[in-house]
Structure 1
Amino acid sequence: MTGAQTTDTVNTVLGPVPVAELGVVAVHEALLSVLPGAQYAFDITIDRAEVFRDLARKLTDYRESGGTTIVDSTGMFHGRDLPLYENLSRATGVHIIASTGQGPESMLGGYFLTPQTNPPTPWPADKFADLFTKEITDGMVIPRRERRAPAGLVVSAADPAGMTATEESLFRGAARTAAKTGVAVSIRYGADAIADLEVLLDEQLAADRIVVGGLDRRDAVEADLPRAVAERGAFVAIDHVGTDGGFITDAERVALVEELIASGYGDRILLSSNATGVAKGHPANDVPFGRLLTTFVPQLVAAGVGDDDVTRILVENPRALLAGAR
C-alpha cells in the first residue's frame, strides 16, 4: 500500500519521511487555500508561478526561523495542489504534509451531500471512509488526472452552530480511515468540542490519534475545554497564534500553555497559526508561518516555559500525533 505508515515514518508530498527528520512542526496551516468554486470566477486569477514565488518565500522564512515541517490541513478540494507542493518542498527544504478529508458541510459540493436518493440523505460514513482511505493507500487524487503521494493527516470540521448529520458522517468516516491506516485525525470542532470528540471516540479510535483544533477560541477557553480535551487523552491544538478576533490573545495563549503544563498535560499541546500562505476567493489569515517561532516561542520562554517543554510541544508532540510514535 502506497500510504502504509509505521511509527518510523510520516507521509509527506515527497513520500514517507523518517520521524527523526520532522523537526519542528506547524500542525495546522494552509498553503494555497481556494474557496470552492473561486477557481472558476471571472474576477479571480490563479497564476501558479506567482503562487509558487509567494509560497516559496514564506516557506523559506519559516525554515530560516527554525521550522522543518508544515502540515497543510485544508483537505481535498480547497486548493490543494500536489505538484506545486512537491516543487515547493524540493525548493525550500521544508517537509510538507498534505491532508485528506472534507468539511464543514457548507464547504462541500452538492455531490458529497447526497447519494442522489429520494428523499436526499447524507453520504454514509463508510462512503466517506472509502474516499479518504484511498487517498492514503493509493495516493491523493488530482481530479480526473492521477493520484500522487499519500496523505499524512485526515481532517474535518463542523459547523460552529453545531454538527450536522452530514458532518457526523464526515467525522465517523475520518475516524474509520484513521483506524484502518494509522494516519491521525484532526478536527475543527463546531459548537461543542467534547461532543464532537466523542463522535470519533465512539468509533473506537484511540484518543491519542486525534487532535482537536480551535481550542484557543475564546469561548473554548472560558469553558475550560482545552483541559477537558486533554483529560480525555486527545491533543489540544492552540492553533491561531497571532490571531485575536474571536480568539484569545497571544499573552493569554502563553498563560494557557503554562496552565496545561502545570496540570500535567504538556504532552497533549500542539501549536500552530492557522496561517494562509495564498488565499483565493476569501480573505487570507496573513500571519507569517514563522511567527510562531520568532515571536510566540520567545514569549513562552520569557514566561518561564523551559527548553524541554518547548521541544516537547514543537517536536515530540507532533511526532507522536503524526506517526503514532512514543
Structure 2
Amino acid sequence: MSFIRTFSGDIKPEELGFTYSHEHIVCIPPYWKERNEDDLLLDDENKSLQDVMDFKKAGGSTIVDATAVDYGRQVESVKRISEKTGIKIIGTAGFNKAFLWNAKLKGNIRSIVGNYETYGEWIENASVYELAKYVIGEIEEGLEGTSICGGQLKFGTGYNSISPLEIKTIKAIAIAHKETKAPIHSHTEAGTMALEQIEILKNEGIKLEYAAFGHMDRNLDPYYHTQIAKTGAFLCFDGIGKIKYAPESSRIDAILQLVKKGFKNQILISGDTARKSYYKHYNYGLGLEFIIKKWTPRFIDQAEDAGLDGEKLIEDFFINNPMRCFAFKK
C-alpha cells in the first residue's frame, strides 16, 4: 500500500490533486543571506501566502517544497501557510549542493547535528551512516526538530561536477531511501550530471523509478533526456516561465519529444519559484498562478497542434505522475 507524506500527515495518492513538483515557498538560504542577495530570500510569510492562495484559486491542490536544510528551510512558516490556505505541502529532507555548504549552520541545526561551523564541515566530518540517520529522522520524526515530517529525499551536485562530499550525500540519501521508502529528488546544476548521478544510485542498489531529476529544461538536449527516461526515472521540467534560460517553445518541444517517444508517464512540471522577482506578491513577477493560468492553455494548444491530447497530458503531468512519483511504497 502506498501513501504520500505531507506537512499535515499522510494521505492517499488519489488525494494529491493538481501538483507543482518543485517550488520554494518561504526560505532564507544562509549562503545568500551572508552575501546580501535579497532577491534569493523568500522572507515574507504573508507575501508567500498570497501567492499560494493564488495557486489555490487557479485550481491547485499540492506544492512540493524542495527546500532542504542547507537552503534555509522555514518549516513552521510553510506549515502555517498550508493550514491557512488548505494547500497540501510536501516537505524535503536531505541536502542541496556543495557550494552552498560554506554557509554557517543555524542555531537549531547546530544543536541537532553537532557543534560544527558550516554545513561543509558537518558533512565532511560525519560518516555516510550518520548523515543517513539524520535524514531518516527528518522523514520519520520531523524536519529540524519539529514534528513536521519530510515527504521526499533530496541530494544535489554542481555544474558539470560531483564533489566527494556530494557523493557522500548521495550515498546517505540512498541508505535513507532503503530505510524509509521515501521518493528521491535530485538537483542537477544547470541540468548537468544526471547520468553520472544515476550511475551512483545504481551502484547503491536504487531503482530509478523512485527518483526524479530536476532542472531538465536547463539542459534542452533530447538525447540526454531520452537516456535519463530510459532508466525509468522521472524528469522534472521546473523552469517554466524563465525565459532568460530558454524560450517556452523550446521547453514545450523537449517535453513533446519525450511524449512522442513514450515517456509521458515520467514527466513533472513546475516553476522552481525561488526568487522575489518570480513571485507576484513580492516583486510583481509571474507568480505561482502562472503555470496553471497561462502555461497550461498554451501547452494544450501546442500539443494539439502536434496531434496529441493536450488536456490528457496536463492531467498526467500535474496529477497522475505526481501521484506515483511522491508515493512511499511500503
Distance in 2 between residues matched to 1:38 and 1:194, nearest whole Å: 29
Residue 65 (structure 1) shift = 1.4
Q: CA deviation at 1:193?
A: 1.7
Q: Which residue of 2 aligns with 1:210?
A: 211
Cα offset for 1:229? 0.7
2:131 alignment partner in structure 1: 128
1:83 maps to what in 2?
A: 76
Q: CA deviation at 1:231?
A: 0.7
Pick from 21, 26, 30: which aligns with 1:27? 21
Q: 1:35, CA displacement in angstroms?
A: 2.2
* CA 1:284–1:34: 2 relative to 1, 3 Å: farther
The reply on whether 1:67 has 2:60 as its aligned counterpart is: yes
Would you say 1:150 and 2:149 are equivalent positions? Answer: yes
Q: Which amino acid aligns with 1:21?
A: E
- Distance in 2 between the 1:51 and 1:105 partners? 27
Q: Of Structure 1 and Structure 2, which has the larger fraction of its residues in helix?
A: 2
By how many angstroms is 1:112 displaced? 3.7
Residues 161-310 of structure 1: pairs in structure 2 closer than 5 A: 161-190=160-189, 191-217=192-218, 220-222=219-221, 224-245=223-244, 247-276=245-274, 286-303=285-302, 304=304, 305-306=308-309, 307-310=311-314
Task: Give the secondary structure class of the aligned counterpart of 2:262.
Answer: coil
Tell me which stretches of 4 or more aligned residues in structure 1 moved more than 3 Å: 37-44, 109-112, 121-124, 283-287
2:227 match: secondary structure: helix
TM-score if structure 2 supplies the norm length? Answer: 0.84
- Superposed CA RMSD in Å reads 2.8
Determine the C-alpha separation between the residues in 1 that align with 2:214 and 2:73: 20
**Distance verdict in 2 for CA 1:228–1:42, change over 3 Å:** closer
Amino acid at match of 2:272: N
Q: Kindly indicate whether the alpha-carbon contact (under 8 Å) linking 2:51 and 2:287 is maintained by their aligned counterparts in 1.
A: yes
Q: Distance in 2 between matches of 1:122 and 1:151?
A: 24
Give the Å deviation of 1:114. 3.9
Residues 43 and 59 from structure 1, CA distance in 2 versus in 1: closer, same or farther, beyond 3 angstroms?
A: closer
Where does residue 12 of structure 2 map in the other structure? Answer: 18
Q: Is the 8 A contact 1:276 1:286 kept in 2?
A: no
Number of aligned residues: 304
Provide the residue aligned with 2:95 in structure 1: 102
Q: Distance in 2 between matches of 1:21 and 1:311?
A: 14
1:323 pairs with 2:327? yes
TM-score, scaled relative to structure 1: 0.85
Name stretches of at least 5 consecutive residues in structure 2 with no aligned partner. Answer: 104-116
Distance 1:197 1:315, change over 3 A: same
Q: Distance in 1 between matches of 2:33 and 2:187?
A: 25
1:139 aligns with 2:132: no
AA in 2 matched with 1:195: E
Aligned to 2:316: 312
CA contact (8 A) 1:215 1:225 kept: no
Kindly state the Cα deviation for residue 160 of structure 1 after the two structures are TM-superposed. Answer: 0.7
Alignment-mate amino acid for residue 113 of structure 1:
G
**Closer/same/farther in 2, CA of residues 286 and 74 from structure 1, 3 Å limit:** farther
Identical residues among aligned pairs (%): 18
Cα distance in structure 2, aligned partners of 1:67 and 1:84? 19
Q: Is the 8 A contact 1:273 1:287 kept in 2?
A: no
Matched with 2:106 is none
Moved more, 11-20 or 233-242: 11-20
Residue ranges of structure 1 left out of the alignment (5+ in a row): 1-5
> 8 Å contact 1:276–1:287 — kept in the other structure?
no
Partner residue in 1 for 2:30: 36
Asked if the contact 2:140–2:149 (Cα under 8 Å) also holds between the matched residues in 1, the reply is yes
Q: 1:22 to 1:115 in 2, by over 3 A?
A: closer
Asked whether the equivalents of residues 187 and 212 of structure 1 are also in contact (C-alpha less than 8 Å), the reply is yes
1:37 to partner: Cα distance: 5.5
Q: Give the 3 Å change call, closer, same or farther, for CA 224–42 of structure 1 in structure 2.
A: closer
Q: Structure 2 vs 1, CA of residues 29 and 115 (structure 1 numbering), >3 Å: closer, same or farther?
A: closer
